[in-house]
Structure 1
Amino acid sequence: MPKLVANDIAAVLKKRISSGEWLEDGRMPPERDLAVEFGVARNTVRRAVGFLEDDGTVVRHVGRGTFLTATNPDSIAATVARMEGTSPADMMEIRQLLEPAAAAFAATNASMAELNAVREAHQTACEAEDMPNFEHWDAEFHHRVFACCRNDFLKEIHNLMRTIRDQSPWFEMKKRSFSEERRQTYCSEHQTILDALLHRDPESANQAMLAHLKTVERNLLGR
């Protein structure tokens, strides 16, 4: 079996934390015990725990040990940690619930400057010459639609969803499903959404966004 490195160990520890391990007292085992468990040098475990400290999962107190920042399973932090393993199918279902509503709000509430920002993202995506650049501006198009909706809570939910979808497994899945034909389809569907926003037509914006997300679902999940 290949030797584990710090990144691998950090990922395993994070999954164990998300599953509720060590939740009772909120404290992780000492680094020396984890080093023995994983069969690696202690400094490798120290680097792994450092990654978790950097992203706010744990906090280290010299002389006391390493503690979970979310010891309450009902806390916001613990909930967010569990959401990191959200499946693509679950994500698409939630997107189809929230994004059409956001598009409808945007058609009603957005300023002209905000709509021009959506237009800019759309045009830049259409001009993209490679997949990573297109994916960036495709995501930015959706982000700017949420920014138009004038609902801060809905916007922050989308920010969380976007963070989850920016993880490596999501990018690899999108990369496998990408083709120039599909890019052209997405650009065409984005134009339909944009037209509905510019015409201040919430119902059309809702339906156009839902139709687009169903296309994305078929391409990503084959259903």
Structure 2
Amino acid sequence: MRLLLMDGLRNGQLVAGSKLPTERALVDQLGAPRTAVRNALAVLEREGSITRHVGRGTFVADSFAANADAATVQAPQTSPAEIMQTRLLLEPEIAALAASQATQADIDHLHHCLARSEAAGTHVDFEAWDSALHRGIATAAHNTLLLRLFDTMNAARDLPVWGSIKRRSATPERRDGYEGSHRAIVDALTERHPELARERMRDHLLDVRGNLLGQH
């Protein structure tokens, strides 16, 4: 599904805001089961690549169209320790920039990701919306180069070693803590408070690093 969007953007058949075919039409076009198409659309929505409106349809998100090349980033070979080092260097500054650059649509998307992550019934769903929230913050900074750097770093979270260590460290208490941190970050962004956004993102990532790697 992602490749279909990428090809459409590159050949000019799709632009930001383009309406996508219906699920039924995509099933026919791709020759894929309807459940697979629906799941692929759900993933793209979580990432902020598409927007879906009841009664209107599904549309290409402005941010995805503007950063189509970044969406093809491959995961680098790295370690959880390197991932966390890079996140601590990059994401607090991204959050600070997003606090001053985010549009109301960006803020609305972050609240949507936050609500969906808190409502997630499984670890997998929570992790997906967690990732979508962090990418939404990077997108809200409206800096193409920073978003590319973020996507390169974030792709490493798809490596099996990262998923394994996150599952082993997951507890209900830690999820509660992450949800509280996420709410605090989104509140700082909503209040347009760069210093507070930077501080809360750094505190959140230090907590994540401690839970994953035992580095408190």
- The TM-score bracket by the shorter chain reads 0.5 to 0.7
Deviation at 1:169? 1.6
Q: Which amino acid aligns with 1:93?
A: Q
What are the superposed Cα offsets for residues 147-189 of structure 1, whole Å, 9 maximum, x if unpaired?
0001111101111112111122211111101111111100000
Q: Does 1:186 align with 2:178?
A: yes
Q: Which amino acid aligns with 1:182?
A: R
Gapped regions of structure 1 (runs ≥ 5): 1-79
Which of 152, 162, 183 aligns to 2:154? It is: 162
Is contact 2:185-2:197 (8 Å) kept? yes
Which structure has the larger Rg over C-alpha atoms?
1
- Coordinate RMSD, CA, aligned: 1.3
| CA–CA separation in structure 2 for the residues paired with 1:166 and 1:116 | 26
Q: Does 1:94 align with 2:86?
A: yes
Deviation at 1:124? 0.5
Aligned position for 2:43 = none
Gapped regions of structure 2 (runs ≥ 5): 1-72
What are the superposed Cα offsets for residues 35-82 of structure 1, whole Å, 9 maximum, x if unpaired?
xxxxxxxxxxxxxxxxxxxxxxxxxxxxxxxxxxxxxxxxxxxxx98x
What are the superposed Cα offsets for residues 184-204 of structure 1, whole Å, 9 maximum, x if unpaired?
100000000011000000000
Q: Which amino acid aligns with 1:84?
A: P
Deviation at 1:91? 1.3
| CA–CA separation in structure 1 for the residues paired with 2:81 and 2:214 | 10
Is contact 2:106-2:136 (8 Å) kept? yes
TM superposition score normalised by structure 2:
0.64
TM superposition score normalised by structure 1:
0.62
Q: Which amino acid aligns with 1:134?
A: F
Q: Which amino acid aligns with 1:168?
A: P
Q: Does 1:133 align with 2:143?
A: no
Aligned position for 1:85 = 77
Q: Does 1:115 align with 2:107?
A: yes
Q: Does 1:220 align with 2:212?
A: yes
> Which is bigger in relative contact order (C-alpha 8 A, separation at least 6)?
2
Is contact 2:86-2:153 (8 Å) kept? no
Q: State the secondary structure of the residue aligned to 2:107.
A: helix
Q: Which amino acid aligns with 2:124?
A: P
| CA–CA separation in structure 1 for the residues paired with 2:107 and 2:89 | 22
Residues 15-94 of structure 1 aligned to structure 2 (within 5 Å)? 84-94=76-86
Deviation at 1:90? 1.4
| CA–CA separation in structure 1 for the residues paired with 2:76 and 2:198 | 27
Aligned position for 1:4 = none
